[in-house]
């Protein structure tokens, strides 16, 4: 997604603390829909008219506009109107905020990966011991014949 300015990230984290995570809830709710995620992808790096955002979708312009409004309320999209023309641009700051929140739980995944690595290592040691004992038995059998 687009670049996040440090000021935007600081502003968003600060506003989340004040709202008790309400914005974070809106961000996760907004990005839970595949159409809205595709809209964010389309806006990555360039502002677009609503009609340009809607072009690849097989839904009405009104439906796309409703999805955009959800993204605006979540703080992920800025919408500027000039008369009847509406231009949308990405604000990736709230995505950064969500990533910071998710990263808080990465230590649990790291623990799980470490446990998996230890388990796989133990399985490999057992296989190696079995292979070694089979080879030793095979050598003994060949000598005994």
Tell me, what DSSP letter sits at residue 127?
H
Report which of 125, 32, 121 is spatially closest to residue 76, judged by C-alpha positions: 32
pLDDT recorded at residue 145 = 59
pLDDT recorded at residue 53 = 95
- What residues are paired with 78 via a beta bridge? 89
pLDDT recorded at residue 5 = 44
pLDDT recorded at residue 73 = 95
pLDDT recorded at residue 34 = 96
Q: Domain locations in the chain? A: 6-102, 106-144
- Contact predicate 40/71, CB 8 Å: yes
Distances (CA, A) of 128 to 19, 54, 139: 56, 58, 17
Mean pLDDT, the chain cut into blocks of 10 residues (145 residues total): 43 46 92 96 92 94 96 95 92 90 84 86 88 76 68
pLDDT recorded at residue 144 = 66
Tokens of 50: 């609503």
Tokens of 122: 């133990």
Task: Look up the pTM and report it.
Answer: 0.62
Query: What is the widest separation between alpha-carbon atoms in the chain?
Result: 97
- What residues are paired with 87 via a beta bridge? 49, 80
Q: How far apart are CA 112 and CA 118, in angstroms?
A: 10
Q: Return all residues near 82 (Cβ < 8 A) that are at least 6 apart.
A: none
What CATH number should be reported for the domain whose range is 6-102? Answer: 1.10.10.10
pLDDT recorded at residue 104 = 86
Q: How far apart are CA 90 and CA 31, in angstroms?
A: 13
């Amino acid at each position: 997604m687009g670049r996040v300015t440090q000021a935007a990230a600081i502003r968003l984290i600060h506003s989340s603390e004040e709202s008790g995570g309400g914005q974070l809830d809106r961000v996760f709710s907004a990005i839970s829909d595949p159409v809205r995620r595709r809209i964010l992808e389309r806006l990555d790096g360039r502002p677009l008219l609503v009609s340009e955002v809607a072009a690849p979708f097989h839904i009405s312009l009104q439906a796309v506009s409703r999805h955009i409004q959800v993204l605006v309320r979540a703080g992920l999209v800025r919408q500027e109107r000039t008369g009847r023309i509406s231009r949308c641009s990405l604000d990736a700051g709230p995505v950064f905020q969500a990533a910071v929140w998710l990263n808080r739980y990465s230590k649990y995944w790291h623990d799980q990966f470490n446990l998996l690595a230890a388990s796989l290592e133990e399985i490999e040691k057992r296989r190696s011991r079995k292979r070694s004992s089979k080879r030793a038995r095979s050598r003994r059998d060949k000598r005994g014949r």
